[in-house]
Each structure stands twice: as structure tokens, then as C-alpha cells.
Amino acid sequence: MTVSPIRKIYQGVADRRQMFRLFDRHAQRPNRWDGDDGALYCGEWFEIAPPEHDYMLEILPPLWMRGEMFALREFLTASITSIFYTLRIDGRTRHFHGYCDLLQARSPVEMRNAIVERESWPVKAMTHQERLEHIWSATHDDYRGYAGERWMPEHRGKRTVLVYGRRAGTALKLLEDLTEDEIQAKLPVHLRHLPNRQAA
């Protein structure tokens, strides 16, 4: 269940409730306490509103502040912690949260650069992976989970979501195996018709 490259996990601006939910969107993973699952979180980012950014700045003294970013003092796992950004993109000031590995010296800068590049796309679009990540982030815990013992060994531990098939009824399906129709049905209406951009 390794992941890691820098990736946007939620479309839109997360409010406080959504922000705290996104902080630990892998909470249901199997064997949660068995090892360091930092790769699941490292590289994840999403946009937050200014009040949420300010709230997180005031909650504890930051570990450090550098220009447009600050690091949270409490680490999620080992060397991975939250980095909060205030970035000017296309003439607008926006705020973001990302998980960075501070053992990698340039991790916060690489995250910042990736956010600016992604949010500067001239056309509003989503990649296939962003669609899947948004579905995972937006699905209630009761309707998502991880493939367990009943699944083939090569699928165990992969993310699953509940899908409704007209004839077949409701069933669990691997997130990565959702069809385009199932993806469209699970996305909110305002995201369904965005062009599908190929990841760079």
C-alpha cells in the first residue's frame, strides 16, 4: 500500500471539518499501528480557507516559519509533518496544507512548487488520479475501506469503495478499478464534466 509522489487529494477549498478529516484520511488502514505508513501521507496536499490556516498557525508555536510557509510542531509519523502555505497564484492569495518529509531538505519547497504548478493550469481540469483521490477523500468512512481476507492476496490492503450497480446491487470495489461511469456517479455534479487532464 505504498504511495508517495506529490498529489492533490481534494478538489475545492476544505472547511474546518473537512480539513481535520483529510488530515487522517487513512485512519481505517489495516495494521495501523504495525509500522511507519508515512509514504501514505507524504506528498498529499489540499486547499484550505484563510480561517483554517490562521487557526493552525495559532494552535501551537510552529516548528519553523519560512516566508510563505510554516511547519507544524507535532509530527504525524517519524519525520513527516504538516506544512501550511500562503501562496499568491494568478493574482489571488490562497492557502494550502501538505504533508512533507523533513528528512528530505527540499521537501517543503518541492511541495510548494508542485502546488503552484498544479494550480496554475490555464484550464480547470482533473487527472484520473485526482478524481480517484477526491472520491476517496469525500466518501464517508462507512462506505470506504480496505480489501481484507476475502480478497485475492494481491489486492489485500488496497482501498475499496461501495458502488451501486443497477442490476448487481451494492458491492465493494477496488478504488483503482472504478469505471468511468462509476467515477462520474461518485463525483459531485460540479466536477463531473471537467476535462480529464493527463498527469505530467
**93-120: pLDDT as tens digits:** 999 999 999 988 899 999 999 999 999 8
Q: What angle do CA 162, 156, 159 make, to 5 degrees?
A: 35
What is the pLDDT, as a whole number, of residue 195? Answer: 64
- Is residue 49 pLDDT above 60, yes or no? yes
Which run of H or of E encompasses 51?
Answer: helix 50-59
**120-131: pLDDT as tens digits:** 887 777 888 999
Q: What angle do CA 50, 43, 60 make, to 5 degrees?
A: 45
Residue range 76-92: mean pLDDT, rounded: 90
pLDDT mean across residues, the chain: 86
Give the list of residues 6+ apart from residue 28 with CB closer than 8 angstroms, or none.
141, 144, 145, 146
What is the pLDDT, as a whole number, of residue 197? Answer: 65
Q: Other CB atoms closer than 10 Å to residue 81's CB: what's the count? A: 21
Share of the chain above pLDDT 70, in %: 89
**148-196: pLDDT as tens digits:** 888 899 998 889 998 887 776 788 899 999 988 888 888 887 777 766 6
Whether 95 contacts 117, CB under 8 Å: no
The residue behind cell 482501498 is: 159
Considering only residues 199 and 162, tell me which one the structure prediction assigns the higher pLDDT: 162
**20-38: pLDDT as tens digits:** 999 988 877 777 656 666 7
Residue range 42-64: mean pLDDT, rounded: 91
The closest of 98, 95, 127 to 15, measured between CA atoms, is: 95
Strands 44-48 and 7-14: parallel
Question: Counting beta carbons within 10 angstroms of the beta carbon of residue 158, is it exposed (0 to 12), middle (13 to 18) or buried (19 or more)?
Answer: middle
Three-state DSSP at 128 gives helix
**Dist. CA 121–CA 91, nearest whole Å:** 14
What is the pLDDT, as a whole number, of residue 1? Answer: 45
